[in-house]
A and B are shown apart, each in its own frame.
Chain A
Amino acid sequence: MTADVLTPLLPGVPLLLGLIGLVLRPGDKRSSQALGIAGAAIALIVTIVLLAVVDEPVEVTHRWVTFGDLPVTLGFSLGPAALYVAVAVAVVALCVQVYSVAYLHDDTRYAPYAAQVSLFTGAMLLVVSANDLILLLLGWEIMGVCSYLLIGHDRRLPEAPAAAVKAFLVTRVGDVGFLLGIAWLGVWAGSFRISDILAHGGVPTVALLLILAGVAGKSAQFPLHTWLPDAMAGPTPISALIHAATMVAAGVYVVFRLFPLFAQSPAALAVLGVMAAITLLLGALSATAQDDLKRVLAWSTVSQIGYMTGALAVGSPAAALFHLLTHAAFKALLFLAAGAVIHAVGSNLMSRMGGLREHMPVTFWCFVAGLGALAGVPPLAGFWSKENVLVAAAHATEGDGPAPAWVGWVVWVAALAGVAITAWYATRLLLYTFFGHARSRTDEWHAGFSDAHYEGAPGVPHDPPALMRWPVLLLAVPAVLLGLAAFLPGFRSALELEPPHLSVSIVLPLVLLMLGAGSAWWLWHTGPGVDPARALGRSRPLFAAGFHLDKIQNLLVVRPVRAFAGAVRLVDEKVVDAAVEGAGTSTTRLGTVLAAAHRAALPRAAVAVFSGALLLGVVAAIYGAAS
C-alpha cells in the first residue's frame, strides 16, 4: 500500500514544488533554494524507500481520459531498473541544487531557475515512472520546455537565446516523430499503457522508427545532435543535470522500456545501430579538437550516448542501462568540477587555463576520477559499463541476437575506435587544463567575448567553496565505485546484467586505451604547454566545427524554412490582408462611383430613365409573349 501512495509522489512532489517556486519573486533566493533542495531531497528519500520496501515491480493505474476509444491512464510502473535510474536522477538533481546555491550566488533571477530545475526533475521522474505513453509524453515535453528555459537563463549572454531556440527546435523535430510513433503504437495496441503495448503481438516497425526520431532528438544522436554543443551556453549546473545525466538519457530509457518490441524488429535495431556508430565516432572526433572545456564534455556526452544506443542496437538493454547509470555519475561529476574550474579561472577556454594542479588539488583529483571513468580505466565505473557494451557488441557479431550480425560488427568496431579516441581527448583535457604553466597569468590574456560575463580579473585560482565542493565529492564516489556494483547480485538481477567475467576480451580495449592515452601523453611530453590537438593538423578545424554539420543543417533546413516562412508571410500580407482590405476599399470605390452616377447631368439622367423604361417594356412584352 505504501508503494501505491509513494509512487505518484515520486514525480509529483518535485513538480508541485517547482510550480510553487514559479510564483515566487525572481529575487527571492532563500525560499527558492529551500524549495529546490527540498524537492530533490524528498524525491531521493521516496526512491530509496521504494527500493528498500518493494520486492516486485510497483504498478499504479487510474483511468484519466479517453481519446475516442483509446483510454489514457495515470499509470506508474517502477521496476527495479527504473528505481535505479530514479535514484541516479534524484542524486544528481540534489547535487545540482546544492551546487547552484554557491555557483549562482549572484544571480538576480534565482527563483525561476530553481523552480525550473525542480520541474525538470519531476518531469524526468515522470518519464522514468510512467506506465502510460501519454504520461511519458507529458514528462518528455515538460523536460523540453524546462531545457529551453534553463539554457536561456542568463539573459546577459548574447548566444544563450539562440542556443535555447536551437535546442528546442531541433528536439521538436524529433518530438514530432515521437508523437506520431506514440499515436501509432496506441492505435495499434488499442491502449496507451506500456504493459498492454508490450503484451500485444506483432511488430509495428514504422512506429518504432518514428520513436527513434524522438530518441535521436532528445538524446542528441546524429543527425539531431547539433543542439547539444551550443546548449553549453546555459549555466554549468544545468549542463550537468540536463545535458549529461538525465534528459539526454531519457531517449535511451524509452527504448529500454519498449525493448521487447524493438527486439522483434531487426530494421529498427539496424537503424539504431548505424545511428549509434556514426554518433559515437562523430562525438569523439569532435571532442578532440575543441578549445572550450564545456564543449569537450558536450561532444563527449554525444559520443557516450552513442555507446548506450549502440548497446541497445545490439540487443543488450542491460548494458545500455548500466552505462547510463555510470555515465550519469561521471559526467555530472565532470561538469560540476568543470564549473569549479571555470569559476576559478574566469574563462571557459582551455587555452586560458593550465597549471591548476597546485592551486586546486581537490578539483584535480575529482577530474582524474571522472576522466578515468570516462576513458574506461579499470577499476573505475566506466570500465565495467564499457566492457559490458563491448562484450554485447562482440556477441552480436555472431548473429544470434535480435540484431543482424553486420549491425554488431559496425557497433563493435566503432566502439573500439571510440575507446582509443576517448582516452586521447580525456588525457588531453587533463594535461592541458591542470599541468604546465598557468597560461592565464601571461600578458596574452585579455577579456574575450566568451568570458565577457565574468566581471573583474580573476585572483589566484582556488578550490571551490564548500557548497560546490561537497556535491562534486559526493558524485566522485559512484564514479569510482559504481562499476563494482555489477558484482552485487541484487543490482545485477535488477538490471538483468550478466555477471562480469574478466576474460581475454578485455585485452583489446585496454590496449586501445593505453594507445590513446599514451599518444596524448607523449605529445604533451615532447611539447609541454602546447595543445596536443595541434597534432591533428589540417583536420583540426573540421573536427572543431563538428564536421560542419551545423552549416549543412543551416543550409538544408534553416534557410529553406526561413524562406518558406517569409513567403507565407508575404502571401498573408499581399493576398489575404489585401483581400480583406480590398473588400473595404472596393466597397468605398463602388460607393464613389455610384455617388458620381447620382450626380449625373440632366440629359444623362434623362437617357437613363428612358432606357430603363424601354428595358422594362421589352421585358414585360417578352414575358407576356412567353406566358
Chain B
Amino acid sequence: MTVADALLLALGAIAVGSGALVVTSTQIVRAGLYLVVSLGAMAGLYLVLGAELVAWVQVLVYVGAVVVLLLFAVMLTRAPIGPSPDLDRPAWPALIVGGGVGVGLAALLVDAFRWTIYAMPVPGTTDRMGAELFGSWVLPFEVLSILLLSALVGAIVLSRPDIGAPKKTEVEV
C-alpha cells in the first residue's frame, strides 16, 4: 500500500460518498453542493493519476461553471430551498438498474484488473498535453469549437422569451 494507493482510496471514497448524497439528498441546493465536493474529489484523483491539466480544467469548467449554472437554474426555477418530499420517483426500477449497472461494471473491472500493480505515471505537464492535443487531435479540437459556438447560440435562442410556447393562460393541459 503506497501513498498513492491510500490517496486513491480516500479520494475515491469521498467522490463516491458525496455522489451518493447527490442522488439521494432531499434538498436541491444541498445536492448541488455535494456535487461540488464530488467533482473536487475527482480533480484530486486526476492529480494523483498524473493528469494535471485535466484536473485543473475539471476544477475550472465543471466546478466553476457547470455547477454554478446548475445552481442558477435551481434559483430561476424557484426550486424549494428546504427539504422537499416529492423530489423522487419510485425507487425500485432505479435501484435495480442502477445497482445492476454499477455492480456489474465493478465486477467486470475487478475481474479484468485484479490486484495488478502498475507503475506510477510520470507527472503530466501542459507541454506534453498540448503536444498530444495539437499533434493528433487537431480536427476534433476545431469541431469542438464549432460545437461550443452552436451550443452558445442555441442556448441564447432557446432562452428568448418571445419564441416557443404561448402564454400559460391560453394553454390547456
**A residues in contact (CB < 8 Å) with B:** 603, 607, 610-611, 613-614, 617-618, 621
Contacts and interface: CB of A to CB of B under 8 A. Distances in A.
A298 B89 CA distance: 91
B17 interface: no
Contacts of B97: 607, 610-611, 614
Given A611-B93, A617-B104, 18 more contacts: A603-B89, A607-B93, A607-B97, A610-B97, A610-B101, A611-B96, A611-B97, A611-B100, A614-B97, A614-B100, A614-B101, A614-B104, A617-B101, A617-B105, A618-B100, A618-B104, A621-B104, A621-B108
A143 B83 CA distance: 99
Interface in B97-115: 97-98, 100-101, 104-105, 108
A613 B104 CA distance: 12
Interface secondary structure of A, over-half rule: helix
Interface residues of B, number: 11
Contacts of B89: 603
A609 to B, nearest CB: 10
A621 B98 CA distance: 17
Nearest to A612: B97
Nearest to B100: A614
Consensus secondary structure, chain B interface: helix
Contacts of A611: 93, 96-97, 100
Contacts of A618: 100, 104
Nearest to A625: B111
Contacts of A614: 97, 100-101, 104
Contacts of B105: 617
Chain A CB within 10 Å, residue with most, of B93, B96, B98: B93
B142 to A, nearest CB: 31
Nearest to A611: B97
13 contacts: A607-B93, A607-B94, A607-B97, A610-B101, A611-B93, A611-B96, A613-B101, A614-B97, A617-B101, A617-B104, A618-B100, A618-B104, A621-B104
Contacts of B94: 607
A603 B87 CA distance: 13
Contacts of A603: 89
A269 to B, nearest CB: 87
B105 to A, nearest CB: 8
Interface string B36-72: 0000000000000000000000000000000000000
10 closest A-B pairs by beta carbon, nearest first, are: A607-B93, A610-B97, A611-B97, A614-B100, A614-B101, A614-B97, A603-B89, A617-B104, A621-B108, A618-B104
Contacts of B96: 611
A359 B148 CA distance: 126
Contacts of A617: 101, 104-105
A26 B104 CA distance: 90
A610 to B, nearest CB: 5
Nearest to A615: B100
A617 B105 CA distance: 9
A325 B108 CA distance: 104
A504 B160 CA distance: 134
A614 B102 CA distance: 10
A617 B104 CA distance: 8
Contacts of A621: 104, 108
A161 to B, nearest CB: 68
Nearest to B101: A614
B116 to A, nearest CB: 19
B87 to A, nearest CB: 13
A617 B106 CA distance: 12
B25 to A, nearest CB: 19
A611 B92 CA distance: 12
A597 to B, nearest CB: 15
A604 to B, nearest CB: 9
A614 B104 CA distance: 8
A490 B71 CA distance: 131
Nearest to B108: A621
A310 B117 CA distance: 114
A125 to B, nearest CB: 88
Contacts of B101: 610, 613-614, 617
A89 B94 CA distance: 96
A252 B96 CA distance: 88
A612 to B, nearest CB: 9
Interface string B99-138: 0110011001000000000000000000000000000000
A611 B101 CA distance: 9
A607 B97 CA distance: 8
Contacts of B108: 621
A621 B112 CA distance: 11
A610 B105 CA distance: 14
Contacts of B104: 614, 617-618, 621
A612 B104 CA distance: 14
A36 to B, nearest CB: 86
B21 to A, nearest CB: 21
A141 B89 CA distance: 81
A618 B97 CA distance: 12
Contacts of A607: 93-94, 97
A613 B105 CA distance: 12
Nearest to B94: A607
A603 B108 CA distance: 27
Nearest to A607: B93
A303 B51 CA distance: 120
B73 to A, nearest CB: 18
B137 to A, nearest CB: 28
A610 B100 CA distance: 10
A621 B89 CA distance: 30
Contacts of A610: 97-98, 101
B134 to A, nearest CB: 35
B173 to A, nearest CB: 14
Contacts of A613: 101
A474 to B, nearest CB: 100
A371 B66 CA distance: 124
B108 to A, nearest CB: 6
A603 B91 CA distance: 12
A617 to B, nearest CB: 6
B100 to A, nearest CB: 5
A603 B94 CA distance: 10
B91 to A, nearest CB: 12
A461 B89 CA distance: 104
A611 to B, nearest CB: 5
A603 B101 CA distance: 17
Nearest to A603: B89
A621 B111 CA distance: 11
A589 B101 CA distance: 34
A618 B100 CA distance: 9
